[in-house]
Copies of this chain bind each other. A is one copy, B any other.
Amino acid sequence: MLERDQKLLDRDQKIKLYTYWRSSTCYRVRIALNLKGLDFQSKPVHLIKNGGENWHKEFLAVNPQGLIPALVDKGTVITQSMAIIEYLDECYPDYPLLPKDIQARAYVRSLAQIIACEIHPLDNLRVIAYLQKKIAVDEGEKSDWYLHWIREGFKAFEIQLKHHSPSPFCFSEQAGLADLFLIPQIYNARRFQLDMSDFPRLSEIERNCLALDAFMQAMPENQPDVEY
């Protein structure tokens, strides 16, 4: 088959998401897809087993950076969770994840970026692995590090939320971009026993989000590649 024909064929295929059940950046994208009611195929990539399947040639052919999530849609591979989510919002405008007003969009993006730029990068797998292997931190230091960045970021998030009138979600009456960044981070916080009672607004938003199918179905425990 000619390469061009293959590309045309790919355009008609279902959206594919290369994902790992426990990855919180994948969890974000799963929520976005669910909120928009988009049908997609999960392609599990195990980040730990077999030296990390993300480094196997099958996956490197999809994303040569070896990073998940990677979304394949209309014959194009898109990487970086925030870029994927903005793409979905532009390409599939039903159920918008961002408000229309320009100032409000900036506000919602700034909330999402507290998670994406101030918390998650410090606590992801490869950073923790570096701390353990190269700097030989012990279990206590590792846990202190992990929780420190979540606490600092969640404090900033709660402060930022006070700028706007309270709503059931981070912004407005409908779950959107900021919520889908927040919930996977709270999931991680709970895994590491963070006391969430210091963050009453975040806990309230969490309750409201987890009452929605879009969030529940995206949870690590509900993925085809879940392990216990």
Q: Which residues of A contact B (CB under 8 A)?
A: 64-65, 67, 74, 76, 78-80, 82-84, 86-87, 90-91, 102-103, 105-107, 109-110, 113-114, 116-118, 120-122, 127, 130-131, 134-135, 137, 141, 144-145, 148, 156, 159-160, 162
A-B contact pairs, 21 of them (CB 8 A): A65-B156, A78-B106, A78-B107, A79-B110, A79-B160, A80-B113, A80-B117, A83-B106, A83-B113, A86-B109, A87-B102, A87-B105, A87-B106, A87-B109, A116-B117, A117-B117, A134-B144, A134-B145, A135-B135, A135-B137, A135-B145
A67-B156, A135-B141, A148-B130 known; A82-B117 Cβ under 8 A: yes
Chain A interface mostly: helix
For A107, list chain B residues within 8 Å (CB): 78, 83
- Determine the distance from Cα of A83 to Cα of B107 in the docked complex, in whole angstroms: 8
A82 lies within 8 A of B102 (CB): no
- With most chain B CB atoms within 10 A of its CB, the pick from A84, A135, A141, A159 is A135
Closest B residue by C-beta to A114: B80
Copies in the complex: 2
B105 lies within 8 A of A90 (CB): yes
B102 lies within 8 A of A90 (CB): yes
For A113, list chain B residues within 8 Å (CB): 80, 82-83, 116
B106 lies within 8 A of A84 (CB): yes
B122 lies within 8 A of A159 (CB): no
For A131, list chain B residues within 8 Å (CB): 135
Q: How near does chain B come to A181, taking the closest CB pair, in angstroms?
A: 11
For A65, list chain B residues within 8 Å (CB): 156, 159-160
Q: How near does chain B come to A165, taking the closest CB pair, in angstroms?
A: 15
